[in-house]
Amino acid sequence: MKLRTLFPLLFPLLCLCALIAATSSSVVASEQPTITLALDNDGTFGVDQDYSNGIFISYTSSAISTPSMLTYLSLSIWEKPSLDKFEFTLGHKMWTPSDIESTEPVANDRPYAGYFYGEFNFISLNPQQVQRFNLTLGATGESSFADQAQKIVHKMTGSDEPKGWEYQIEDDVVGSIGYLTHVNFSRNALFDNDDSAHTSFNNTEFEISNITEINVGGFRSDVATGMMFRWGTDLAANMGAAGISTEHPFRPGMIGASSSAWFVFTGVEGRYRFNDITIEGKRPNIPDPENYPSTLENWQSSAVLGATWYNRHVGLSLTFTAKTPDYEQAQTALYGTSALALFAFL
């Protein structure tokens, strides 16, 4: 899926955002529910390979009164004031080899794979720490509809026709449970408020934080940690929205009690991945699988660079991501994608 395919997908949400901005009352953004449309694509870099496309639709509740049975998931259990939310995401991810026009299996390259899933998140926010617990369940193989989706979009846009989806990872129902925590190490005003030479930057801050994540399940299992650097406004109220991931790197539902802000961010992360069905899954239509190995690379790393702006009604984020190969047979040392998130506070 190339960049020119994105506008037809974005236009309905842009219209909705404009309507909300024109009609909403003046309230703190995050005190209202949040809807998000997020898109990942590698077309920015003129390629169609590896992690090629992702689309995510999310609904995040306003602040909730945390049920007693979930209190142990909230930061309030540590006597920290917290803003807790529920979130549901419907997501679709797609991976392809670099030669999608080949009618034969592609050796020493990424297998075709798709993942269509639902994700439930419990989010707890504090100015010094945020955390997210998630439960994900979805389908791979033909049940992911990845082959139909790519073929339809490529036909509509005149892009190369993908011809190898019959060799994709087999049908399976897989999921995972996960935990992410984002901890502030340092947050300071960039300039002294009395420095008149820097009036336009008096309200900005610089922040250094750590992000650590653990996932366990049949889809993937891994442990990751990294450092995030941000500069902008109201950072205490939106820590956690930006992540260090090449897949769905920005999550507006994790914005806290903030009316408006902007910030730029960058981060690097290392991980150890124990299993990944999109690489190690069976490909039943390949007659000699040993001739088409796909071996998980356990040690991996990612980096992100992005910018975000929002007011009390709508917002957007643009992120560029890079990652090292996640399989040993990769012929490319670095893979890149761009990610766009459009969101509205209802």
Torsion of CA 145, 250, 243, 202, to 10 degrees: 170
Among candidate residues 335, 332, 344, the one with its CA nearest the CA of residue 109? 332
Cβ 167 vs Cβ 183: under 8 Å: no
Residue for token pair 């500069």: 231
CA–CA gap between residue 234 and residue 256 (Å, rounded)? 10
Residues in CB range of 65: below 8 A, 6 or more apart: none
The pTM of this model reads 0.88
| DSSP helix/strand/coil, 327 | strand
For the structural domain made of 3-345, what CATH number should be given? Answer: 2.40.128.140
Cβ 226 vs Cβ 211: under 8 Å: yes
- pLDDT tens-place values along the chain, 346 residues long: 443 334 344 444 444 444 444 434 334 445 689 999 999 999 888 888 899 999 999 999 999 999 999 999 999 998 889 999 999 999 999 999 999 999 999 889 999 999 999 999 999 999 999 999 999 999 999 999 999 999 888 888 778 889 999 999 999 999 999 999 999 999 998 766 555 545 556 689 999 999 999 999 999 999 999 999 999 999 999 999 999 999 999 999 999 989 999 999 999 999 999 999 999 999 999 988 889 999 999 999 999 999 999 999 999 999 999 999 999 999 899 999 999 999 999 8
For the chain, strand residue ranges (E) read: 34-41, 50-60, 83-96, 113-126, 129-140, 172-189, 205-217, 220-232, 261-276, 299-310, 314-323, 335-345
